[in-house]
Structure formats: C-alpha cells, structure tokens
Amino acid sequence: MRNKKVIIILSIALLLVILYGCTKENRTASVNKKTEVKYREVILNDALKVEDVSGIVLNKSNELIAYIPGDIRKYVVLDENVAVKKEMNIDFEGRASVFTVDSNDNMYILSEIPDTNENNDIVKISKRLFSYDNETNLINENNVIGEITDTTARSAEEITKKIRIDSKGNIYALKLGGKIEILDSNFNSKKILDSTLYMDIDIDEEDNLLAIRRSIEERVLDKIDTSNYKIISSNEYDYNEFPNQIYYNKNTKNLYGINTSWIVKYDSKGNMTNRLLNTGELSDIDYIFDFVVDDSEEVYVIADAGGNYKLIKYTTSASEIKVDEETAENKTEIFLEVTQDYGNRLTKVAKKFGELNPDVKVTVNLYPDLDVIQYRDKLSAELIAGKGPDILYFRGGEPIRTYIEKDMLVSLDEMIEKDNEFNIKDYNTHIIDNSRYKDKLYTMPTDYYFLYCFVLNQELLDEKGVTVGEDLIWKDIYDLSKRLNENSAEQIYVLPKIDDYMLFDWIVLSDLDYYIDWDKKEARFNSEEFIETLELLKVIKEDNVMHPDLEWIDIADNKNNNEEVKRLAIYPGQAHSYHYINSIGAVFNGFNAIPVPKGEYTGNRGYGSDFIAINANSKHQELVWEFIKFIISEEMQTIDGYTFQAHFHVNNNASKRQVDELVFEEQEKNKAYMEKQGLYIATEEDVERLNKIIGSLKKPMISDPFESILYEEVQLFLNGEKAAQEIAEQLQNKAEIYLRE
C-alpha cells in the first residue's frame, strides 16, 4: 500500500454531543490476537425509557453513572444488572455531560457556558465545578465549589470534552482542541499543557496521566508524571493497534481502547494483548463517543445510532437477555474478508443485504492484526489453493493483475451482459473503465479517493505575467519555476515542500507501465528516458522548485494568512470527496484548480480506489454479483454519514447528492461560520472544474511488489550514493529477474 499522507477532517458530531448533551451475538472472525469470549448487545435506552444518553462513568463500586439529557435532566446510577439504583436530578444552568468520579465515589461536574457576541463569536467561557457526595437526590447551585470566567477563549476548541480527577483532587480537563488544563481542588487553574495536542486522556491508580496523540508520522500513548508534567514513557503504535479513545480501570489496573470499531485491551506497558469485541458486528452505529469497561469486562458505549445517542452494553452474561438463534440450514452463506471495516460500512451493507434476502447470509471476516503484506500473502495463498472468500475486496495493495492473469477473478462484463436490470450508465463509467485490464472488467470500483489537484495562486501568476496550462508534465513544472524567477527580486516557489515518496509517485511511478511492459515482460530502465526522469526528480527536489520549509500538509491549517504561502504558485490539494473544495479553495481564496502533471510516457494520473470482485473459486458467483450491485447502489453509497461523505461515489445519484447536500446545502446552513473561519464557499463552476479533473484521471493506484525495489534504488540516487546510470543498470537487471519470476 502506498505510503500516502492523508488530511483528516474531524466530524463536528463530537462537539454537538458535548454541547447538548434489541440483542445480537458477537461472531467475530478469528484474528491473531483472538477474542476469548462472545459478547451480546443490549441497548439500554428502552429500559431507561429515554431517547438519548450523553455521558457515562464507572465508580469504584463498579456501578455505571449515566447522564440523561432532555427537559428533565438527571444522572442515574445503574447496578451490575443495569437496574436503576438511584436518580439525581439536575437543577443548574449549563452543560452537565462532562463529569467524573473520585476514589470515594464523589462526583464532579464541569459545567461551561460559552458567551457569544452578535456575530456568534465566542468571547468568553463561564465555568463552574460542581461536586456531589451521594447524600441527596439533587444537584443544584449549592454544590458549586468554584467558578472561573475564561475571557481569553475565542473558539469552540477551548470547550472541555472530558475531565478526570486524581487522588489529590486535581482536575484534568481535555479541551476539544487537544490542550489539557489542570485545576486544583479549589478550581484554580494550575497549568495548561499545550505544547502537544492530545485526543483522549485518563488517570491511572498512581496519578499518572495517560494521553494519546496522533500525527501524520506517529501514533503515541504518553504516560505523564503529574507532579512535574514530564513524560515518563511513550508507546508508539501501528495504525492497526492505536487506540483512538482510551479508558483506564483503576480497580483492575487495565487499559482499554477503541481501534476502529474494536474494543481492545492493553498491558501495563501499553502493548495490545487482545481484542474483546467488534462493536461493528453487533451494532448499527455510526460513531462511538465514549466507552467504559467494568471489572468483569462488560463494555458500555455511548454511540450515535440513527440520530440518537444510545447507551449500549456488551455483555457476556447469557442470563440477561434472550437471543434469537439463527437457523442456518436454509441459508446460503457467502464470505467477504478485509483487514479493517472502516466505519463498519461492509458489515452494514452485508446486514442490509441479508435483510432483503432472508435466505442469504453474508459473513464479513475481519483480520485487523494483519498488515497489508501479511493479508496479501494470506489471500494469495488461498486463491492459489482454489479457496478464499466468495467476495474479494481490494484496497490497492493486492497484486490484482496477477490474480487476473491466473484466472482467479470472474469477468464482470459477462455478468453485466446477462443482467437486464443493470444499467452501467447509472454509474461513473470513466472510473469503471479505468479499472479495466486489457479492456476487460474484473474489478468493480466501489468508490474513489486520494485525488490530487493543483490549485493555482492566480494573483501571483497574474502579477508575474505567467500563464499555466492544464495538461502538464513534470518538465513543465521545472520550466515554470524558471519563468517565475526570471526577473523576481525574491524567490518564488512553484510548490510547497513535498516528501520524497510523493514526488517519486508522481514523477517516476506514474510511468511504471512504460518502464515495464508487463505483457512482453520487458524492462526499459536502462534507457535515456528513465535517466532523464531521475535527473528531473532530483532538480525538482533540489533546485528551489519547492519551498524548503513550508510543508504542503500544513498549509490548509494556516489557510491564506501565511505570508510564505503567497510566494507559492501552486498548492497540491488532496480531495476525497466534493466537500474538500471548501478547504482546498481556502488556501488561495479560489478553486482555480487543474489536474496534476501526468506521466510523460503513459499519460497516467493516479488516484485511490476500493474494488470488489468475484472469486472464480466461488460456488455462488451469481449471488456475489447481486451483492456487488447492492454495494454500489445509491442506498448503500449513502447508508450513513461516514460512507456518504468519506469518498467520491461511483453511483451517479449518490454523487449528485454528495454535491447537493454536503456542499451546497451545508454551506448555505453554515455560511456565516465558514466565512468567519476563512473557508471557501464553493460554486457550481468549482464542481464542474473538479469533475473535469476527475475526467482526467487515468489509472487507479494498484500496488506491485516491484515498487518497493524501485523506490529503494531511487532513494540511493537522491541521497547521492549512486549515479543515475548505475541506478538504471541495476534496476534493469532487477526488473528482468523479477519479470522472469
């Protein structure tokens, strides 16, 4: 899988729940770190007779305390059998969803009220800390132990999303923006940790602060000594083990986390030991806001489920609930497998397909502890042996060309030809045709993403009297640098700083199909064209074409306020769906975008895509084809908020809805906020321009093992360890050996 950098856009759903406060059995597929018990889902909202639950904590007695918003706000204490043991009514103004308990089971609530001006700008935040000692059934103004008015707050990032308390009564408040404020037992601010921004926090039994952080390069759990705020230890994770949220149980001294939809357990050093359950298999949820794990490893989560905030218990106790046993005798079962099911999308689609086809069961097997190479090797071995899942789901890291050449995939053209109900014109035929191999369709794209466009700084170009065409190659970028600086008093850069791999991908890898003729099994690395390409790559890296310090990934955060950005002629914008126009257009206050330069010898412009295919070994090929049609239907491409907005869609109706609803309707509702934040307001012309760029895409990114060999050699050239001619000769030899194998 290509090592691409991704700009992550956070959902505002978390902010909304902070401000405003059926049963199934787990059938988790076997993984390296296996689940040891079966869990079942119990939705507690019905038992509590409430629509929403928006806050939970566990006390020392292993009892759950839940916050119930609404007209009559209250906290409820639930015993281990989820019966209501006590109710505490709330009689104060302000939020009540951010709370915690100390070692004596006393409860503390941090209530904040943001004050805004006539433009709805935050000008201050009034904060009060309430305490509750279990003596009464009411929490009111008499419970206030401290008040603070923060007159420096100017954004929602200063609002607190979570608090924890240590044995000395110090409060640790995690802000939406990632800062941590420490307040003493009298509610005086002691310290603000703001040099590192964190995603989630908790406190262990020794009063160490546990905090997780993530950047493009790393994913880390820090253990911080709260006596001096120094980091004691840091544990770094791969993506498949990193917790996006954490919970520490002081009674059992166990750390738990959420990794995609999995509830996972970590040892005292922060290493993952096992996966308890996959919430995506059990529940129709869009996002988990909070979770706790009790002393018996019963799991409670608050999740967005169909627009309501559900309190869900995952229990191992069969006596608590009745489960309808599935009769599998009359069901045809087909299998799909992936490493991760992002947003539980595939699980949801499989479930819906089963509901519409009661005689069919689609089982989604997950292998979250296998990396891309491990899963590729596993799948390849199964296919060679005549096995493997009925439904093949690819994310570009698999050797799809090899599978096709070895007749492991079914021709989808034949399926389409036999199916009178399927109209390919209902889909983006350009993206579908890009997936063809030798003019034949074996893999159906389900979506596409990682689309790059070059956004022009038109003001700078006009000032310099320079025009830029739309069908560029990389030699044009180097020539543009010379033209811009011909009579310039200050250095003008064409591009921001871009890492070596991205340049390699754009300049070298885009023409891989020219340097290797896969049909004839011939290589062209020892050629004048390849040597010239290497030299071009080097001068673009070293000859002031790129800014030496300004990273492309950081520009979107600074928008157009940075003076250095004004010295750039082009910003490489990364889009995954249509609403990225707003953030990309904010850089130069306009979406004057053109396609990225194409491969000089192939014309390729790459992008990412997920694919679905039929295993030629499957006994249920017609049924798999029905599932393929289902997953690319409008209903399934818009099944939930995550799926709807995450990527571009191949279904034309879903694509149109993404433009209408996520671009124009959303920006109309939030126009004042967007203008204040410096976000760009998209136009119909911008959408047409992006569609034109989409039409210029030629080849989805499909990895080949030779790419890593190629990149290693190119790095030796860029580092000055080998000459271009030497690299060309060595790659020629390696390619010929590779092709023979």
Helix (H, G, I), strand (E, B) or coil at 697: coil
**Spatial CA neighbour of 257 closest among 290, 217, 287, 232:** 290
Beta strand residue intervals within 194-350, DSSP E: 200-203, 209-214, 219-225, 230-236, 245-249, 254-259, 262-266, 272-278, 287-293, 299-305, 308-315, 332-338
In-domain check, residue 325: no
Beta-strand relationship, 122-132 and 138-140: unpaired
Q: Please state at what angle helix 500-507 crosses helix 528-542, rounded to 10 degrees.
A: 140
Note the pLDDT of residue 4.
37
In-domain check, residue 6: no
- Which residues of the chain fall below pLDDT 70? 1-36, 317-329, 556-561
Note the pLDDT of residue 554.
82
**Spatial CA neighbour of 341 closest among 6, 642, 39:** 642
Cα(707)–Cα(111) distance, integer angstroms: 54
Total domains in the chain come to: 3
User: Do 382 and 265 share a structural domain?
Assistant: no
**Exposed, middle or buried: residue 172 (CB in 10 Å: 0-12, 13-18, 19+)?**
buried
Contact (CB, 8 A) for 397 and 370: no
User: Do 81 and 208 share a structural domain?
Assistant: yes
Cα(13)–Cα(10) distance, integer angstroms: 9
Helix (H, G, I), strand (E, B) or coil at 220: strand
Q: Which two tokens stand for residue 603?
A: 């014309």
In-domain check, residue 5: no
Cα(25)–Cα(257) distance, integer angstroms: 21
Which of 630, 647, 678 is the last residue in one of the domains? 678
Note the pLDDT of residue 119.
72
In-domain check, residue 419: yes
In-domain check, residue 128: yes
Q: Which two tokens stand for residue 410?
A: 């079914």
**Exposed, middle or buried: residue 33 (CB in 10 Å: 0-12, 13-18, 19+)?**
middle
Note the pLDDT of residue 561.
53
User: Do 40 and 177 share a structural domain?
Assistant: yes
Cα(502)–Cα(514) distance, integer angstroms: 19
In-domain check, residue 124: yes
Q: Which two tokens stand for residue 12?
A: 């505002």
pLDDT in tens, 600-613: 999 999 999 999 99
Beta-carbon contacts of 303 under 8 Å, excluding residues fewer than 6 positions away, are: 279, 283, 285, 286, 287, 288, 289, 309, 310, 312
**Percentages helix, strand, coil for the chain, rounded to the nearest 5?**
30, 30, 40
Q: Which two tokens stand for residue 471?
A: 């069908």
Which of 260, 290, 319 is the last residue in one of the domains? 319
User: Do 718 and 667 share a structural domain?
Assistant: no
C-alpha angle 715-718-720 in degrees, rounded to nearest 5? 110
User: Do 404 and 505 share a structural domain?
Assistant: no
Provide DSSP, 122-186.
EEEEEEEEEEE-SSSSEEEGGGEEEEEEETT--SGGGSEEEEEE-TT--EEEEETTS-EEEE-TT
Cα(608)–Cα(592) distance, integer angstroms: 23
Question: What residue numbers bound the domain in which 583 lies?
Answer: 451-606+700-740
pLDDT in tens, 554-592: 886 654 457 889 999 999 999 999 999 999 999 999 999
In-domain check, residue 8: no
Note the pLDDT of residue 77.
95
Beta-strand relationship, 332-338 and 360-366: parallel
User: Do 267 and 126 share a structural domain?
Assistant: yes
Beta-carbon contacts of 112 under 8 Å, excluding residues fewer than 6 positions away, are: 94, 95, 98, 125, 126, 127, 128, 159, 160
User: Do 595 and 469 share a structural domain?
Assistant: yes
User: Do 718 and 704 share a structural domain?
Assistant: yes
Contact (CB, 8 A) for 155 and 12: no
**Spatial CA neighbour of 437 closest among 391, 399, 395, 390:** 399
User: Do 242 and 369 share a structural domain?
Assistant: no
- How many other C-beta atoms are found inside a 10 Å radius of the C-beta of residue 333? 12
Note the pLDDT of residue 27.
44
Which of 298, 319, 340 is the last residue in one of the domains? 319
User: Do 221 and 260 share a structural domain?
Assistant: yes
CATH code of the domain in which 268 resides? 2.120.10.30
In-domain check, residue 188: yes
**Spatial CA neighbour of 601 closest among 531, 519, 512, 724:** 512
User: Do 250 and 133 share a structural domain?
Assistant: yes
CATH code of the domain in which 504 resides? 3.40.190.10
User: Do 308 and 248 share a structural domain?
Assistant: yes
C-alpha angle 441-443-444 in degrees, rounded to nearest 5? 95
